[in-house]
Amino acid sequence: MENKICVYAISKNEIKFVDRWFNSVKEADYVCVLDTGSTDGTFERLKELGAIAEQKLYENFRFDVARNDSLALIPADADICVCVDIDEFFEPGWAKILKQNWQQGVGRVRYRYTWNFNPDGSEGVVFFLDKIHKKDAYIWKYPVHEVLTPATSENLRFLDLPEIQLNHKADNTKSRKNYLPLLELSVKENPQDDRNTHYLGREYMFAGEYDKAIDMLTRHLNLPSSNWDVERSASLRYIANCFGKKGETQKQEENLIKAVLECNYVREPYFELGVFYFDMGDYLKSAYAFAEMLKIEKRNLNYMSSPVCWGSLPYDYLSLCYYEMGEFKKAIIAIETAIKLNPDGERLKQNRQIFIDKFNEMNKN
């Protein structure tokens, strides 16, 4: 008998995304949505489209509770659960791929996820997501930045299906005001959890509470479970950013160097170190940081992988460093690469001509 798929979600005031979302998930056998208090017609539209939709209001909202309540809507004969937010949408054919590849013993599926898109329509941040899971095998945990956790002792494995593509186009007008108190609650409930300690430190940084951010991110680095070098490097970069905002440039530099030493196989810490030295007018050190960064040719697909580090900007910075150092030939080579990556960049083309003119002028003398 063929496995049945149920897509499930929570919603609140998502009317601008509902039709796009439903059209992408209707390949599933069932579509279930728990609405948490929409006032813009989202709930009514979901029912019109044919979703199994219920509405529930929460006095003290938290994402894990709402998602677990949405799981309760899933019909008993569904086998595979697919959690998809309303501002996300699948590329066609995903359900067929999932059914064809689902196997006995699989608990979760990893698939390709484009979290955002650049202004030109190209992909921005890309990583693998794993919100497809076996029914009744997982529950959601944490008030915000919630994750699936095993609900049974069953020994289940991951299945990688990069052919499945999920896209995300967020509503950037939505407020993040609930994130901070929910993260504070999460860390209070689970003080040894490294993941949300890191997120809370980052959220303090976003809120401009730099001393709190430094303290929380330092706490993250000292937790016994803080072992992921990519995330540890990010904490050090956030700490550096906070010191920069406070005008403490020496501590900013120290933490950026630590970020590189913590994880020297991703581009992000080199990029931020290069920008720091450029802004300080130390073009030799800046050029060195960018040159070392560009030796990294394999992009690590995780949610912290910045598309900026893989576009024209690093070569742009490098070209300017070489120009300031009087290395005009190297500046031309770097700017040529930047233009290949951004052929519509008029400023880049103008800079190239300036570099060429300087190179020719130098070689006349």
Residue 273's alpha-carbon distances to 177, 181, 206, 236, 249, in angstroms, are: 30, 32, 20, 12, 12
pLDDT digits (tens, 9 = 90+) for 139-194: 999 999 999 999 999 999 999 999 999 999 877 666 667 889 999 999 999 999 99
pLDDT digits (tens, 9 = 90+) for 261-286: 999 999 999 999 999 999 999 999 99
Q: CA-CA distance, 347 to 353, in Å (whole number)?
A: 10
Crossing angle of the two packed helices 268-279 and 313-324, in degrees rounded to 10: 40
Among residues 114, 83, 102, 227, which one has the least CA distance to residue 158?
A: 102
Residue pair 273/289 in contact (Cβ under 8 Å)? The answer is: yes
Among residues 345, 325, 326, which one has the least CA distance to residue 335?
A: 345
Domain 5-168: homologous superfamily in CATH: Spore Coat Polysaccharide Biosynthesis Protein SpsA; Chain A (3.90.550.10)
- Banded pLDDT at 63 (limits 50, 70, 90): very high
| CATH label, 176-266, candidates 3.40.50.720, 3.10.180.10, 1.25.40.10, 3.30.390.50 | 1.25.40.10
Q: What are phi and psi of 12, to 5 degrees?
A: -160, 115
pLDDT above 80 (res 24): yes
pTM value?
A: 0.89
DSSP class per residue in 247-309 = T-HHHHHHHHHHHHHH-TTSSHHHHHHHHHHHHTT-HHHHHHHHHHHTT--S---STT--GGG
Shared fold status for 5-168 and 176-266: no
Listed by start position, the domains of the chain span 5-168, 176-266
Residue pair 99/2 in contact (Cβ under 8 Å)? The answer is: yes
Residue pair 278/286 in contact (Cβ under 8 Å)? The answer is: yes
